[in-house]
Amino acid sequence: MAHDPSLSALIAHPDFARIRSSKLKGDIAALVVDASGIGPDERNALETRVRQAAMAIEGVREVRVALTSSRPERKIVAIGSGKGGVGKSTVAANLAVALARMGKRVGMIDADIYGPSQPTLLGAHQRPLVEKQHLIPVAGAGGVRLLSIGQLVPPGQALAWRGPMASGALAQLIDGEWGDTEILLVDLPPGTGDVQLSLAQKARPDGAVIVSTPQDLALIDATRAIDLFGKTGTPVLGLIENMAGYSCPHCGEVSDPFGSGGAEASAAALGIAFLGRLPLSSSLREASDAGTPPAANEGPAADAFADLARRVLDQLETIAR
């Protein structure tokens, strides 16, 4: 950080911590100001304050302010579920790949301490390198950047973690070198207990997506997940119904042995958006579990995930308004 001695009066200014460098050339002051983590209105206010402070210094006739941001505008989306086994991680991995195919720079934080499966799902098992005390995400399927609790501890060990340890590890993952990542998905552990609550608070998501199966019980659990995000003040972007109906491995036709429309009706009753449904499909399971998420290829599954990804982005825009 270089500061021009003739602009030393700025040191006393309350915003000095954000002034990364200052230079006086002739009577023009050039300031680089860090505007990380603040909204557009505050950015303008910060710029005005700094500009006025510099203008007040003797010998300055013009001020040029360059606002920088160490963290680019990035949306964080948590993926939660009321209980385990509903396909939350599988959906999250494919959604990430679908977003990447739409041209977004996508990251994934796997915070599922009960079963960190993203390294398998995204085919990214390498241990992340550390640079300047930040973990560097590992590139997986579709170029999705991944940091997972599963990359840091041997399988099975994360399970024994209590809330504070899990939340410490999550902080390290969030603090990773995410660079220009535009959208960061956080695969939360299933359930709605204290661990989930503290992790959801820590991740400070812009929105949450809930994955549920059509069974009534799972939907009741989904309602609890919605309550969980309510407690953390996180807007729920919507519900994804997974394993809804059965996709025939031979002809691809989807049938509904248990009926359909339950999740849609529940979402409507709960006042949240219904983002779409995915059938029970053995090819989706096999490809995902093999680290080749079908969202990366052509086909009905890829189309379904592309639709979901578009709706998630739409919802993010809607809540930002």
In angstroms, the CA 29 to CA 41 distance is 23
Structure token digits, residue 136: 């560097």
> Quick count: other Cβ atoms within 10 Å of Cβ 300?
16
Positions touching ligand ADP (CB under 6 A) are 81, 84-90, 117, 190, 242-243, 278, 280-281, 284-285, 288-289
* Secondary structure class of 77 (helix, strand, coil): strand
Strands (E), 111-220: 130-131, 134-135, 138-139, 145-148, 183-187, 207-212
> In 3D, which of 162, 147, 95 has the Cα closest to residue 306?
95
CB of 90 to ligand ADP, least distance (A): 3
CB of 88 to ligand ADP, least distance (A): 3
Residue among 31 and 226 whose Cβ is closer to ligand ADP: 226
Residue among 68 and 297 whose Cβ is closer to ligand ADP: 297
Phi/psi of residue 97, nearest 5 degrees: -65, -40
Residue whose C-beta lies closest to ligand ADP? 87
Residue among 86 and 185 whose Cβ is closer to ligand ADP: 86
Residue among 22 and 94 whose Cβ is closer to ligand ADP: 94
CB of 270 to ligand ADP, least distance (A): 19
CB of 276 to ligand ADP, least distance (A): 12
Write down the residue that tokens 């950080």 correspond to.
Answer: 1
> In 3D, which of 251, 252, 230 has the Cα closest to residue 304?
252
Residue among 122 and 280 whose Cβ is closer to ligand ADP: 280
Residue among 46 and 80 whose Cβ is closer to ligand ADP: 80
Torsion of CA 242, 208, 158, 173, to 10 degrees: 130
Which residues lie closer than 8 Å to 46 by C-beta, 6 or more apart?
Answer: 15, 18, 33, 35, 38, 67
CB of 60 to ligand ADP, least distance (A): 58
CB of 157 to ligand ADP, least distance (A): 18
Residue among 243 and 302 whose Cβ is closer to ligand ADP: 243
**Bridging pattern class, strands 75-80 and 183-187:** parallel
Residue among 232 and 242 whose Cβ is closer to ligand ADP: 242
Assess contact for 96 and 106: CB atoms under 8 A.
yes
In angstroms, the CA 115 to CA 28 distance is 57
CB of 279 to ligand ADP, least distance (A): 6
> Quick count: other Cβ atoms within 10 Å of Cβ 130?
12
- DSSP H helical ranges for 2-123: 40-55, 88-101, 118-121
CB of 145 to ligand ADP, least distance (A): 19
